[in-house]
Amino acid sequence: MTFSRMLRSGLLASAAFLAAGGAAMADGEVNIYSYRQPELIQPLIDAFSKETGVEANVLFLDKGLVERISAEGVNSPADVILTVDIGRLVEAKSGGVTQPLSDEAINAQIPAQYRDPDGDWFGLTTRGRVVYASKDRVKEDAITYEELADPKWKGKICMRDGQHSYNIGLFASMVAHHGEEYTEKWLRGLKENLARKPDGNDRSQAKAIMSGECDIALGNTYYVGLMLTNDKEPEEKEWAAAIKVLFPNAADRGTHVNISGMALAKNAPNKDNAVKFMEFLASKEAQEIYAEQVFEYPVMPGAKVSDVVASFGEIKPDTLPLADIAANRKKASELVDKVGLNDGPSM
């Protein structure tokens, strides 16, 4: 059954769906299951279809992607999986819904640290897990993750849920670099430096800094870009204007980054077009379109970042392979619970 026939039969009625350029052609389509919002990837879809003539169908899911593909089994129409986090890429692989791909063009353009060693997933863009700092109250222009446990920041740090995937990624990188014992002690220090219980999202941390609730916070780089350009919510521009972006560990190992990425679906019915689409996404053209659209960094060395992102300053990414970091996510999650990070400071 083709993707378009599934749509007509109502099997996709509950999902946000778009078809680039009209109804899909049975022999000239690629079916994309995406965790990323449709409007963010539409420019890529348009460019790919214009360049290749292949129609791209996108099924957007905000959750349950792995479960859906597993339930569809060998009849799944999914060709390519797009995700927004290393955790979900690893989840797709461990869930058995991907297949390995060895492609010279893709491997030549995506550095090894952003690729699964087995070829089951590939990074496309990165975002730094950085420190948002008050322009008015924080004199420092440099910081380390380790320093976040220093008592000098007591009562001055805000963050979202410690179990959120973005924070677990950072904490997993601490385990990878320093070991479990050090990271537990570090998390206890971070907890005691919090201004309040972890709460909200990354944008609300910037709001809390503007209001004076805290001086620094953990956040992703791309949220700053989204806030600075949000004409629909002018107050977000004020939040972003109140902070500066500090890239932790810029003088040594580099800043922890997470990725958006892609994977070849296990039972891809249009495998040739799927690989063609993945090769396109790895190209310099697509990397720059994607990075401009989502305010992230292309993984391809030398690809241009957006002017907004460039204004934050240069990022030096941690060179530790993300696969190595991802291997410590479970331990990081256990440590968050062990130290009671989400309970906030003991005061």
pLDDT digits over 217-276, tens only?
999 999 999 999 999 999 999 999 999 999 999 999 999 999 999 999 999 999 999 999
Identify the three-state secondary structure at position 14.
coil
Q: Is residue 291 part of a domain?
A: yes
Examine the domain organization and report whether 211 and 335 are in the same domain.
Answer: yes
What whole-number distance in Å separates Cα of residue 163 and Cα of residue 112?
A: 27
Nearest alpha carbon to residue 113 among 327, 318, 305: 318
- Longest alpha-carbon distance in the chain: 64
> Which residue is it, tokens 């910081």?
143
φ, ψ of residue 34 to 5 degrees: the values are -130, 135
- Number of domains the chain is built from: 2
User: How far are the Cα atoms of 6, 65, 78 from residue 1, in angstroms, in the given order?
Assistant: 7, 19, 11
Contact present, 69 and 78 (Cβ < 8 Å): yes
Examine the domain organization and report whether 267 and 120 are in the same domain.
Answer: yes
Identify the three-state secondary structure at position 322.
helix
Question: What integer pLDDT is reported at residue 16 of this predicted model?
Answer: 36
Name residues of the chain where pLDDT drops below 50.
1, 3-27
Examine the domain organization and report whether 51 and 92 are in the same domain.
Answer: yes
Examine the domain organization and report whether 193 and 339 are in the same domain.
Answer: yes
Examine the domain organization and report whether 83 and 199 are in the same domain.
Answer: no
Question: What integer pLDDT is reported at residue 24 of this predicted model?
Answer: 38
Q: How many CB atoms lie within 10 A of CB 91?
A: 18
Q: Which residues lie closer than 8 Å to 310 by C-beta, 6 or more apart?
A: none
Contact present, 88 and 12 (Cβ < 8 Å): no
How many CA atoms, within 13 angstroms, populate the side-chain half-sphere of residue 221? 32
Examine the domain organization and report whether 209 and 338 are in the same domain.
Answer: yes
Residue 168: its H or E element: helix 165-178
Q: Is residue 309 part of a domain?
A: no
CA angle 28, 34, 38 (to 5 degrees): 85
- Amino acid present at 65: L
Examine the domain organization and report whether 235 and 326 are in the same domain.
Answer: yes
CATH code for the domain in which residue 324 is found: 3.40.190.10
Question: What single-letter DSSP state applies at residue 247?
Answer: -
Q: Is residue 95 part of a domain?
A: yes
Question: What integer pLDDT is reported at residue 40 of this predicted model?
Answer: 86
Residue 126: its H or E element: strand 122-134
Examine the domain organization and report whether 7 and 36 are in the same domain.
Answer: yes
Examine the domain organization and report whether 284 and 176 are in the same domain.
Answer: no
What whole-number distance in Å separates Cα of residue 73 and Cα of residue 230?
A: 41
Residue 344 Rama label (left phi>0; alpha psi -120 to 50; beta): left
Examine the domain organization and report whether 46 and 119 are in the same domain.
Answer: yes
> Which residue is it, tokens 């005691």?
192
Question: What integer pLDDT is reported at residue 248 of this predicted model?
Answer: 98
Question: What integer pLDDT is reported at residue 6 of this predicted model?
Answer: 46
| Residue 31, domain extent | 3-125+259-304
Examine the domain organization and report whether 250 and 282 are in the same domain.
Answer: no
What whole-number distance in Å separates Cα of residue 32 and Cα of residue 256?
A: 28
Contact present, 115 and 122 (Cβ < 8 Å): yes
pLDDT tens-digit profile of 152-170?
999 999 999 999 999 999 9
Could you tell me the two tokens for 85?
């986090």
Examine the domain organization and report whether 120 and 134 are in the same domain.
Answer: no
pTM over 0.95: no
